[in-house]
Amino acid sequence: MPEITKLAHGVEGLFVENSRFNTTLVSFNFYLPLMHETYEENALLPYVLSSCSEEYDNFRKLNIKLGNLYGATLSTSNSKMMDYQCLNIAISVINDQYTLDGEGVVNEAAKLLASLIFNPALENESFRETDVNREKLQMLDRIKGEINDKRGFARAKAVSMLFGDDPYGVSRYGEEMKMEKVTGYDLYNAWERMLRTAFIRVNVIGAKLPNGLWNAVSSAFSAIKRDNVTEFKGFNTPAFKTEEKTDYMSVSQGKLVMGFSLGEVKAERDTAATTVMADIFGGGPYSRLFTNVREKMSLCYYCACQAVKNKGFMLVDSGVEAENSEKAKKEILNQLEIMKKGEFTDDEFSASIIGICDSVKSLEDSLSTLNAFYTSRAFDSSVSSPSELTKLIKQVTREDVVKAANNVTPLVTYMLLPEDK
* Contact between residue 89 and residue 117 where contact means Cβ atoms under 8 Å apart: yes
DSSP assignments along 151-164, one per residue: HHHHHHHHHHHHHT
pLDDT digits (tens, 9 = 90+) for 375-416: 988 887 677 889 999 999 999 999 999 999 999 999 999 999
How large a percentage of the chain has pLDDT more than 70? 97
Which of 97, 134, 74, 131 shows the shortest CA–CA distance to 23? 97
* Contact between residue 178 and residue 186 where contact means Cβ atoms under 8 Å apart: no
pLDDT at 391: 94
Question: Is residue 109's pLDDT more than 90?
Answer: yes
Which of 54, 85, 84, 59 shows the shortest CA–CA distance to 74? 59
Across the chain, how many H-helices and E-strands are there?
A: 15, 11
Average pLDDT, the chain: 93
Please give the single-letter amino acid code of residue 6: K
pLDDT at 379: 80
Which of 410, 421, 420, 413 shows the shortest CA–CA distance to 326? 413
pLDDT digits (tens, 9 = 90+) for 327-366: 999 999 999 999 999 999 999 999 999 999 999 999 988 8
All domains of the chain, ordered by start, with CATH?
Answer: 3-222 (3.30.830.10), 243-418 (3.30.830.10)
- Count CB neighbours of 375 within 10 A: 20
71 Ramachandran zone, left/alpha/beta (phi>0; psi -120 to 50): left
Residue 298 burial by Cβ neighbours in a 10 Å radius (0-12, 13-18, 19+): exposed
Question: Is residue 421's pLDDT more than 70?
Answer: no
* Contact between residue 252 and residue 418 where contact means Cβ atoms under 8 Å apart: yes
Please state the φ and ψ torsions of residue 210, each to the nearest 5 degrees: -60, 140
419 Cβ contact partners less than 8 Å away, ≥ 6 residues apart? 248, 249, 250
pLDDT digits (tens, 9 = 90+) for 66-97: 999 999 999 999 999 889 999 999 999 999 88
pLDDT digits (tens, 9 = 90+) for 1-20: 688 999 999 999 999 998 88
pTM: 0.93
403 Cβ contact partners less than 8 Å away, ≥ 6 residues apart? 273
